[in-house]
Structure 1
Amino acid sequence: MRGPKAAMAGKPTKVLVKRHALVTRLTHWLNVLVISLLLMSGLQIFNAHPALYWGAKSTFAEPWLAMTKEEIGDQPRGITTVGGLKFDTTGVLGWSGPEGMREQRGFPSWATVPSWRDLATGRNWHFFFAWLFVLNGFVYLAWGLLGGHLRKDLLPNRDQLAPGHILHEISTHARLKFAKGEEARRYNVIQKFTYLAVILVLLPTMVATGLCMSPGFNAAAPWLVDVFGGRQSARSIHFISAGLIVAFVVVHLVLVVLSGLWNNMRSMITGRYAIEVEGGRS
């Protein structure tokens, strides 16, 4: 007859493993604050002219995106135009606020910093947190390169780049099946591709297009505006980049909740992540 120890020998046991270094955790939580305020102050700036164009100049009659107020049947309505499509977004975009106190503005007051109309203050907030974001990013990249974090944790290895493995990961993600045991110690290939795309492509694009809207920087490096096809194109790409970051954050939060909220939160606060190992081996 097997004793208690023998019976437990093959039973999976939860152990805590190191997953996130201190620098990763600090820069992550600082980015949570910085990106939130960048987004809200950016929407305050956008509200000064809630329309986007392509090219070097604003063709007011042909925005590819616009949030306006229109009178429809003697009733003011918020209308959002995307390309040739129009959507009634009354109460949220274009014409928002409590019933009886609505006003014409692109994004509602609860989504902007400050909540009232103040372009100068919105710019001050945006520029301050933009530079804080850049400095925080330099710290993360410098530590990631010098400490090997980018190479060891974010670069896919040869096995992960195999087409069969990539298709398997896409399939398991689509079915919301999350890694268990030893596989949970490290990022999977989908996570690595996504984080690298955000860190090395999306965020630098947002910073570069933001610089294109600075008159002082335009004077120092006019070529950068040309790279993005003109000032208005740069503004549009900046807005799209911000939207993609919001989409990334939303998906990220959903997956954090579905794959284990407390375990993920603990790993980003203490650095320790719980996994199941056979027989209690760590």
Structure 2
Amino acid sequence: MQRLDATRNAPRPTVIKRHSAFTRLWHWINAICLAILLLSGLQIFNAHPALYWGKDSTFDAPALSIGAERADDGSLRGITRIGDLRFDTTGVLGVSGPRADRERRAFPAWATLPGPRWLAMGRQWHFLAGWIFAPLLAAYLVYLVASGQLRRRLLPRRDEWPRLGHVVVEHLRLRFPRGEEARHYNLLQKLAYLVVLFVVAPLVVLTGLTMSPTMDAAWPWLLDLFGGRQSARTLHFLAAAALLAFFVVHLLLVLISGVGNNLRSMITGRYALPPEKETRDDASQ
């Protein structure tokens, strides 16, 4: 009975305003754009599934290639090469589909938009999402600086750095901040958001622009900045892969740390601080 009474009388969690309306709107539009960009980007990559470094395509020595070869038994085998390394990636990369109807595809059809072999439309989807994503990214970065949120919420304080190792270990153990500690982003979150917003995402945009002949004519310095169109394409692919990794980890942490509370904070802006865990003495009363 005492335990039930304690539960009934437990204080309600503190609810704070976590995200502004602009941040929430940007987040959801950005999520849609990123999904379209990633899936249509794989469609475009499938048209020539190899990456090079420099100004020219060195077809005999790609930095990365995803293809298919005939095995001794006549079956297709997916082969992914990274430099001099060679991996059999049948069923995932290079070759996909049912065993009786396998086809040569760098990335499988289910991972591409808008269809299995619709390159022209895939390019249009990619450009449309890109021309929405890029200006919104620039606007959001300006907003972070002008509103002071960059300084207040994302720039690490000096006293946070000694706790970096502890924060990493706690995340690996899936132990997330509670109570007042959850009111602000921890150091690992701040670093992740800073790298994604100010390094990876701008790199995706700039390397994407570098692959456009029109933009190269208008801004020839882009080719000099990235060392050529093929280098820009490789960096574009790697930066997109980094965004995808962040996207996956972000979704997993949202699910694990409280999907309802996290979703509400990004829809209404209100976030309930997770209550502190009961101490052993409190639980026994």
1:71 paired to 2:88: no
Q: Identity over the aligned pairs, expressed in percent?
A: 54
- State the distance in 2 between where 1:208 and 1:59 align: 23
Deviation, structure 1 residue 42 = 0.7
The answer to whether the Cα contact below 8 Å between 2:76 and 2:102 also exists between their aligned partners in 1 is no
**Which segment drifts farther, 27-36 or 260-269?**
260-269
Partner of 1:169 in structure 2? 167
- State the distance in 1 between where 2:70 and 2:82 align: 19
Give the match's secondary structure for 1:159.
helix
**Which segment drifts farther, 59-68 or 90-99?**
90-99
TM-score normalised by the chain length of structure 1: 0.90
**C-alpha distance after superposition, 1:214-270 (max 9, x if no partner):** 001111222211211221111101000000111111111111122111111111111
AA matched with 1:15: T
AA matched with 1:65: L
Superposition map of 1:1-282 within 5 A? 13-73=12-72, 74-161=74-161, 164-276=162-274
- Taking only aligned residues, the RMSD between alpha carbons, in angstroms, comes to 2.2
Deviation, structure 1 residue 97 = 2.0
- State the distance in 1 between where 2:149 and 2:55 align: 40
- Residues 224 and 65 (structure 1), Cα distance of their counterparts in 2 relative to 1, 3 Å cut: same
Give the match's secondary structure for 1:20.
coil
AA matched with 1:239: F
- State the distance in 1 between where 2:189 and 2:274 align: 20
Give the match's secondary structure for 2:115.
coil
Deviation, structure 1 residue 165 = 2.2
How many residues end up aligned between the 2 structures? 273
- State the distance in 1 between where 2:237 and 2:28 align: 23
Give the match's secondary structure for 1:273.
strand
The answer to whether the Cα contact below 8 Å between 1:12 and 1:276 also exists between their aligned partners in 2 is no
**C-alpha distance after superposition, 1:103-124 (max 9, x if no partner):** 2121111111122212221111
The answer to whether the Cα contact below 8 Å between 1:212 and 1:225 also exists between their aligned partners in 2 is yes
TM-score normalised by the chain length of structure 2: 0.89
AA matched with 2:30: N
Give the match's secondary structure for 2:101.
coil
Give the match's secondary structure for 2:227.
coil
The answer to whether the Cα contact below 8 Å between 2:14 and 2:272 also exists between their aligned partners in 1 is yes
- State the distance in 2 between where 1:112 and 1:50 align: 13
Partner of 2:283 in structure 1? none
- State the distance in 2 between where 1:193 and 1:21 align: 20
Task: Give ranges in structure 2 of 5+ residues lacking alignment.
Answer: 277-285
- State the distance in 1 between where 2:66 and 2:227 align: 23
AA matched with 1:64: A
